[in-house]
Amino acid sequence: MLVTRSRLPSYALTGQFCLLEQYLPDGPDHPFAKTMLQHFLKLQSRLKSAEDLPTLQHQYNRFSNGGWPEVHVRNLWNLWLDDQFLTGGERKALDSIEPFDEWEEFAFFGCHYFLLLARTKGKTQTSRHAQTQTTGPCVTNDNLEQEVAYAAFIQHPKGRGLRRFGAAFKQSDSEIVVHGGHGERGRLQTGDVFGKRNGEKNVAHVMTFPRTEIMCHTITSLGEIGDLLVGGRGSPDRPSSDCYLRKDGVWCKVGNLPYGLYRHSAIAVPQPSSDD
C-alpha cells in the first residue's frame, strides 16, 4: 500500500492511494481461489479483504463510498492485455528474457489480483496505469446462459488422473485413456487408463507413450485406421508438429504438420462414399 502527496501548494494537496490485493471473481470455490485462500491461511495471513470484498465492484465501492472522488480498479490480466498499459513490444521483450512457464496459470493469477488507484483531487486521467474498470475479463456463472449435460462421474482412485489439458481417446470398448497434459510435476508423458476389469469399475493404471511430455494436443479416433495424435506443445516456446498413429496398440510416427501448433482441436469426418 502506498500513500503519496504531490508537490502542490498547500491549498491543492492531492492524496493518492495505490493498492495491490487479491479478490475472488468466481467465488471462493473456484479451484485457483480455493488454493490461494488455503495458502495464505496456512501462512497465518488470512485474506479477510478478499473474503469480505470479493469483486472489483466491491473494491470500487469501498473507496468511492469512503470519500475518494476518483477511483480506478482493474485486474492484472486485463492490464497485461491492454496495449496502453503494456505495449506488445514490451511483452515480447519480457518473453525474450525467459518464456513464462504456464500461460494458463498466469491468466488465473492475473484474474485473481487487482490494482487500484484512488485520488482525492485532480483531473480525471486516462493514463496507461489507471483506467477505471469495475469488471474483469474472467467468466462467471452469473452472466452465462448455460445448457448443462449431466454425466456420471466416479472419482479417480488413489489420486491418479490429476492432469489438465490432456487428450482422451477410447482404447477399447471397456477402457478410456487420458494422455499427456499438465500434472503436479509439470507436463506429462504418461497416460491414465480407466475402465472395467474383472467386474471392477474405474480401475486405473498408467501407461507411457513413445514421445516427450506434451499438453494441449488431440488424439482423434479414425475408426479402423487407428487413433491420430496431433499438435500440442512442450514448453511455451516449443509447439509440436509431430503426428503419431496408434494401430493395434502400437504408436508410430506418421509425419509432421507444416508448422507446430500450440493448441489443437480436431474432429473425425467420415469419408463420403462413391454413392454420395
**How would you write the pLDDT of the chain (276 residues) with one tens digit per residue?**
344 444 434 445 578 999 999 999 989 999 889 999 999 999 989 999 999 999 999 999 999 999 899 999 999 999 988 888 888 888 877 776 666 767 778 888 999 999 999 998 754 443 433 344 433 333 333 333 333 333 333 445 555 556 778 888 887 777 778 888 877 667 777 777 777 655 554 545 556 666 678 888 888 888 888 888 888 888 777 888 888 888 887 888 888 888 888 877 787 777 776 665
Residue 57 CB partners (closer than 8 Å, separation 6+): 134, 135
The pLDDT score that the predictor gives to residue 127 is 40
Residue type for position 173: D
Domain 2-138 is found in CATH 3.40.50.150: yes
**245, 227 contact by CB (below 8 A):** yes
Kindly state the cell numbers that stand for 246: 496408434
Q: How far apart are CA 174 and CA 200, in angstroms?
A: 11
**Rounded to two decimals, what is the model's pTM?**
0.52
The pLDDT score that the predictor gives to residue 7 is 42
Assign domain 157-261 to its CATH architecture: 6 Propeller (2.120)
Residue 40 DSSP one-character state: H
Q: How far apart are CA 197 and CA 9, in angstroms?
A: 82
Looking at the chain, which runs of residues are DSSP E strands?
2-5, 15-22, 70-75, 113-119, 167-172, 175-179, 182-183, 186-187, 190-197, 200-208, 218-221, 227-230, 240-247, 250-261
Cα four-point dihedral sign 94, 85, 135, 71:
positive
DSSP state letters, 147-162 = -PPP----PPGGGTT-
Q: Cα dist. 96→42, 244, 253 in Å?
A: 35, 31, 32
Q: What residue ranges of the chain are covered by domains with CATH 2.120.10.80?
A: 157-261
Q: What residue ranges of the chain are covered by domains with CATH 3.40.50.150?
A: 2-138
Residue 270 DSSP one-character state: P
**227, 216 contact by CB (below 8 A):** no
Q: Which residues of 200-233 are buried (b: 16+ CB within 10 A; e: fewer)?
A: eeeebeeeebebebbbbbbbbeeeeebbbbbbbb
Residue type for position 176: I
Q: Each residue of 41-60: pLDDT tens digit? A: 999 899 999 999 999 999 99
Q: How far apart are CA 195 and CA 173, in angstroms?
A: 9
Which residue is associated with the grid cell 494436443?
Answer: 217
